[in-house]
Structure 1
């Protein structure tokens, strides 16, 4: 029969298109990996990998089998996780991913409570864009992700945490803004670069009332946006979660609440049927509790 080891070798080659790097990923020597791929090809009776001195590529069938192999390996990992979870679901390693506009402003406040409630749980944090987090979750690279909706999540299980509104940040020496029309009257709207869900959420919050993403300044972090605002270069939208966490600091900006902006919905997501879903729900309760205890944090999601 096919072995999980052979399938892992194939998926590693598919990911790297390099036998040397694939062997490193699998913690084996390159001859061992090559032999495993050859055994797999002999077993199925067709060539899966085309290899020359300059390149490595999978055949069309090889790509199809590699995709199915990833699902099999993920299921096998879930079996191991299920067994460990049955022994003690509240201990072990947890790979938690978060988007940059939530993680730094919520998780540091919550981690002490998590450590106290689950002393045998080791949480490893990863900060990425939403699309990358979802891909990592589906591939088994992550166990749990903290993201904001609206965003297409497919078949993932979703636990709503709270709603997060916005505030308008403008230079302190500009006239006090009155409402959302200021977004088109006060100068250039500066947003995060494409790929950040906050950019899309901000544009959706005021459809037709702000400049297009192509015409706006794009930054890589909220800290950069705040620095640009304090220099009088424009205005930006900041999530309440970040504001309540002190992201503005001593920067010379004025904050104006925007109660009519459609809030983003902060959620936890995990693979359906995960053996650790009870743990994930407990973690969600801790995150909700922390969001409610912080001043200025948004409404709990229904």
Structure 2
């Protein structure tokens, strides 16, 4: 008889294409996972996996089995979610995704709050770019995600958590560094440093600055590298307050210039599938996070560098 365990293991293998990584994802040893996959193959009478020296690849038959198994596992998750909801609000396991331009700067402060106030909630965290989070959320590999809104996806429900305004980061000894505030018009002739393609923050900044997406720009992998380049005069960038307030930039050779209203900002929110049985939990969680963030004492952001 085919078991849910076997289907879960096969799904993990399809996502990782490696027996060891798949075993780590589902929390078992590699031999245990391999044995279950082999048993499933024997039951079905066909190979599900092509075993390679560098990893594993599903056969055509294996891919079709995983595709059909996804709906079965999603329904099982829904049943498990129902039991968690009836046990009480915000309890049980929650698979939470978060974008890289938010995770490192929000989670160190948010997680202690959640541990103290939601002790029955067990989080499994996943940090990656928006496109991947959305795909995994719709495929039921995540329960909810913290991303920039709007989602643009009608199958999702979302609730705002907080607004995150942008500052213009410039070298303190540059001509722009002598200004007291930022002006979009002054950015037309300067080198803009952005995150690499795939990050929603990049797209937002291009939109704010009215820069065509296909314009060649200096691109890097993380916000810390952006600061290092700005500091040495390599260009300027827009940085979210969530990042600037978490990194002690006042001690570096960087000035953070506020924009005149209406200042550019992004809205950070929690999103989940509208059909998820835990939707009521996620609305409660969003309300609690929003209330917690609103109560934080504002960290002063230096414009003097």
Q: Normalising to structure 1: TM-score of the pair?
A: 0.80
Structure 2: gaps (5+ residues): 301-305
Q: Is the 8 A contact 1:93 1:122 kept in 2?
A: yes
Q: 1:276 offset after TM fit, Å?
A: 2.7
Structure 1: gaps (5+ residues): 298-302
In structure 2, which of residues 176, 181, 188 is the aligned counterpart of residue 184 of structure 1?
188
- Secondary structure of the structure 1 residue equivalent to 2:249: coil
Q: Distance in 2 between matches of 1:84 and 1:151?
A: 26
Q: 1:73 offset after TM fit, Å?
A: 0.7
In structure 2, which of residues 210, 220, 227 is the aligned counterpart of residue 207 of structure 1?
210
- Aligned twin of 1:300: none
1:29-178 pair list within 5 angstroms: 30-39=34-43, 41-42=44-45, 47=46, 49=48, 51=50, 56-59=57-60, 62-153=62-153, 155-175=155-175, 176=179, 178=182
Q: 1:274 offset after TM fit, Å?
A: 2.5
Q: Distance in 2 between matches of 1:127 and 1:22?
A: 18
Deviates more, 1:221-230 or 1:12-21: 12-21
Q: 1:110 offset after TM fit, Å?
A: 2.7
Q: 1:289 offset after TM fit, Å?
A: 2.2
Q: Distance in 2 between matches of 1:88 and 1:168?
A: 45
- Secondary structure of the structure 2 residue equivalent to 1:101: coil
Q: Distance in 2 between matches of 1:240 and 1:280?
A: 25
Q: 1:168 offset after TM fit, Å?
A: 0.7
Could you say if the C-alpha distance between residues 87 and 262 of structure 1 is closer, same or farther in structure 2, counting changes exceeding 3 Å? same
Could you say if the C-alpha distance between residues 18 and 236 of structure 1 is closer, same or farther in structure 2, counting changes exceeding 3 Å? closer
Q: Distance in 2 between matches of 1:269 and 1:32?
A: 34
Q: 1:58 offset after TM fit, Å?
A: 2.0
Q: 1:230 offset after TM fit, Å?
A: 1.4
Q: 1:154 offset after TM fit, Å?
A: 5.1
Could you say if the C-alpha distance between residues 188 and 83 of structure 1 is closer, same or farther in structure 2, counting changes exceeding 3 Å? same
Q: 1:265 offset after TM fit, Å?
A: 2.2
Q: Is the 8 A contact 1:96 1:145 kept in 2?
A: yes
Could you say if the C-alpha distance between residues 242 and 140 of structure 1 is closer, same or farther in structure 2, counting changes exceeding 3 Å? same
Could you say if the C-alpha distance between residues 6 and 114 of structure 1 is closer, same or farther in structure 2, counting changes exceeding 3 Å? closer
In structure 1, which of residues 190, 194, 198 is the aligned counterpart of residue 197 of structure 2?
194
- Aligned twin of 2:287: 285
- Secondary structure of the structure 1 residue equivalent to 2:275: coil
Q: Distance in 2 between matches of 1:85 and 1:178?
A: 48
Could you say if the C-alpha distance between residues 164 and 64 of structure 1 is closer, same or farther in structure 2, counting changes exceeding 3 Å? same
- Secondary structure of the structure 1 residue equivalent to 2:169: strand
Q: Is the 8 A contact 1:89 1:276 kept in 2?
A: no
Q: How many residues align?
A: 288
Q: Is the 8 A contact 1:150 1:201 kept in 2?
A: no
Q: 1:248 offset after TM fit, Å?
A: 2.4
- Aligned twin of 2:221: 220
Give per-residue Cα distances to partners, 1:100-158, cap 9 Å, x unaligned.
Answer: 21223333333333223212323343321112222332344432210013454451221
Q: 1:243 offset after TM fit, Å?
A: 2.8
- Aligned twin of 1:253: 254
